[in-house]
Amino acid sequence: MQSNDIMEKSAAYCVQYIKQVYLKERVLKVLLFNGSPHEKGCTYTALKEISKTLKKEGIESKIYQIGMKPLTPCMGCFACSKIGRCAIKNDGVNDFIEYARDFDGFIFGTPVHYGSACGGITVFLDRVFFTAFMSGRGDVFRHKPASAIASGRRSGTTTTLDQINKYFSISEMPIISGRYWNMVHGQTPDQVKKDLEGMQNMRILAKNMAWHLKCEQIAREAGIEPPQEEEVVFTNFIR
C-alpha cells in the first residue's frame, strides 16, 4: 500500500472515531442473514466477505443464523393482524422482527435448493414479512436498503435471487445491487473462496450498501425524510 493511501485511511478512521465516540453519531448497522442450515458453509463464507468489507467502510454488521430448528410454514390464519405477532411461537420469527428493527440495512443469503431459495429461509421470511406488515410494524423494513445473495453449486441462482428480491420490492425497500450477479459458486467454503469473481462481487455489493447507507444518513441529517406511508387499500381485483 502507498503511504498516501495509508495516510488517507488513517485520517478517515480518525474522522469516523471522532464522529462516533465524541459526537455520538449513530453507527450504521447491517444485518447479514444466513438462511442456510450450514452455520459455517458457503453462504456464510460469502457473508463473511461482505462483513469484512462493511467493517472497512465503517459499517457494523451482525450475522444472523437461521440454523436447524424446525420451522412451520405460514398457515394463512391472519392471526398476526389481530394479536400483533405470528401465532406460531418459539421458532425465532417473532423475535427476529424486533431484532431487525435495530438495523439500517439487510443482506439475506441463501443456498440454492432445487433452483430456489432453501426451504428454511422461505418459510422464515414469508412469516417475518407477513407478520411485520399485518401487525402494523412494516417500518421495521420499509425504506431500509436490502440485497439478496445466493450460493449454488451450479445453477438456479438467478431464480433464487428473484425470489428473495420480491420480499424487498413489496416492502418499499431499495434493492442494492452488486455486479454481474450477487452469487457465489461452490459446495464447500474452500470452493467458494476460489470463486474469485463471486467473492469480488460480494465486496462490490458491500461497498454499494455502505455508500447507500451513508448517503441516506446525510439526507436525513439534511431534513430529507422518506415518503409518508399511504393508507393501505386492498381491492383483491374486485371492482
* Three-state secondary-structure class, residue 151: strand
Of these, 6, 75, 95, 115, which contacts ligand FMN (CB under 6 A)? 115
* Three-state secondary-structure class, residue 199: helix
- Cα separation, 19 vs 166, whole angstroms: 36
Of these, 111, 120, 145, 198, which contacts ligand FMN (CB under 6 A)? 111
Using the rule CB under 6 A, is 24 a contact of ligand FMN?
Answer: no
Q: For ligand FMN, give the closer residue by CB, 56 or 153.
A: 153
First to last CA, the chain: 65
**Residue 92 burial (CB count, 10 A):** 17
Phi, psi torsion values for 164, nearest 5 degrees: -70, -35
Of these, 31, 32, 33, 36, which contacts ligand FMN (CB under 6 A)? 36
Shortest Cβ distance from residue 39 to ligand FMN (Å)? 9
- Cα separation, 193 vs 122, whole angstroms: 26
Of these, 38, 85, 144, 207, which contacts ligand FMN (CB under 6 A)? 38
Q: Are the beta carbons of 216 and 65 closer than 8 angstroms?
A: no
Segment lying near ligand FMN (by CB under 6 A), choices 80-88, 109-117, 203-211, 214-222: 109-117
Q: Are the beta carbons of 222 and 216 closer than 8 angstroms?
A: no
Of these, 154, 228, 232, 239, which contacts ligand FMN (CB under 6 A)? 154
Q: For ligand FMN, give the closer residue by CB, 187 or 200.
A: 187
Segment lying near ligand FMN (by CB under 6 A), choices 5-13, 88-96, 105-113, 211-219: 105-113
Of these, 85, 113, 127, 144, which contacts ligand FMN (CB under 6 A)? 113
